[in-house]
Homo-oligomer: A and B are copies of this chain.
Amino acid sequence: MSESAPRPTLEAVAARAGVSRATVSRVVNGFDGVREPLAERVRRAVDELGYVPNQAARSLVTRRHDAVAVIVAEPETRVFADPFFARQLRGISKELTAHDNQLVLLLTEDRDDHARVARYLAGGHVDGALVFSLHIDDPLPGLIQRAGLPTVFGGRPHWNGGEDGVRYVDTDNRGGARDAVRHLLSLGRSRIAHITGALDQTSAVDRLDGFRDVMADPDPALVEEGDFTAASGERAMRELLGRRPDLEAVFAGNDLMAAGALRALREHGRRVPDDVAVVGFDDMLPIAEQTEPPLTTVRQDIEEMGRLMARLLLRDLEPGTAPDETAGAGPSGVVLPVTLVRRASA
């Protein structure tokens, strides 16, 4: 009882079914070339013994692991605390398990971790990697690229993704920003301010670009940089109100900053949306619904993003694909659509 029953091996199944190991292997892996009466006998033996293949032994010879690393480079608690991460993971997980792949999670915070991650990837424990790295000075993408593993990035990487066939999935930040600003225009507002996110992240840059697309040559006084936190949104809003008391609307780079902006507006006696209309980004629940008033915002399908990343990666891992020449086949960057969600704030 204290000796846990030794797990049955292929050998044991073969013996019980009265066939060779090779035949059992064929049946277990669904290869054809085994005729029915025999195959059935093997399947019964597998059931009776409760046989489960030893993945280590299998990997040793196939050099596949059916496992994918998900690497999240997040030194800051902020992003970690938001629900995005969980949703993306969920999407990734669904897609991976649908294809019998495991998800190995690597969270990194500092430089030391980078070495560890690099070593892990070089160790060949996984077949590919999904990488979330937001900041411009992050050495991680380089390290990973060097490891030579098939990789898909979450969010457009900095080094001009698409260039050398770097695969990534991103939301349509720029288009979403345009939608948001156009919506404000359609409300009859013309003096529209923008609170940017942390501009060392492509998402923030793209949203700013979208804002500029529509506002063509906006008053610099109407743009203030934030860092995606509520506190920064509040501060930025005060700044903006000081510079342009006549502003009629704000497009915040995310919902958290929008929430902060709402507080500053309330503090300054501005009514939302009557005096100032506010639009956020992300549709970050439950924040976006809980603010006063609830936020009009740009929703991205974050779970789908995860799913898509996984799908792209798995496609690269298929035996057909050339191992090194990942470029060329298929799109290197995929951009997911967004939708404007109208609530009370604009």
Known: A2-B322, A4-B323, A4-B324. A56 touches B60 (CB 8 A): yes
Beyond A2-B323, A102-B104, 8 extra complex contacts between A and B, CB < 8 Å: A1-B324, A2-B324, A2-B325, A57-B60, A86-B86, A230-B286, A259-B290, A286-B287
Interface size on A, residues (CB 8 A): 57
Residue of chain B at shortest CB distance from A322: B2
Compute how far the CA of A227 lies from the CA of B101 in the bound complex, rounded to whole angstroms.
34
Residue of chain B at shortest CB distance from A266: B292
**Chain B residues, CB < 8 A from A65:** 56
Partner of A93, one of B1, B57, B107: B107
Indicate if A221 sits at the interface (CB-CB under 8 A).
no
CB distance from A312 to the nearest CB of B (A): 19
Q: Which residues of A contact B (CB under 8 A)?
A: 1-2, 4, 7, 50, 52-57, 59-60, 65, 67, 70, 80-83, 85-87, 89-90, 93-94, 97, 102-107, 113, 116, 119-120, 122-125, 148, 230, 256, 259, 285-287, 289-292, 322-325
Task: Identify whether the interface residues of A are mostly helix, strand, loop, or mixed.
Answer: mixed
Identical copies of this chain, number:
2
Known: A286-B81, A286-B256. A104 touches B107 (CB 8 A): no
Partner of A59, one of B56, B90, B93, B287: B56
CB distance from A259 to the nearest CB of B (A): 5
**Chain B residues, CB < 8 A from A290:** 230, 259, 287, 290-291
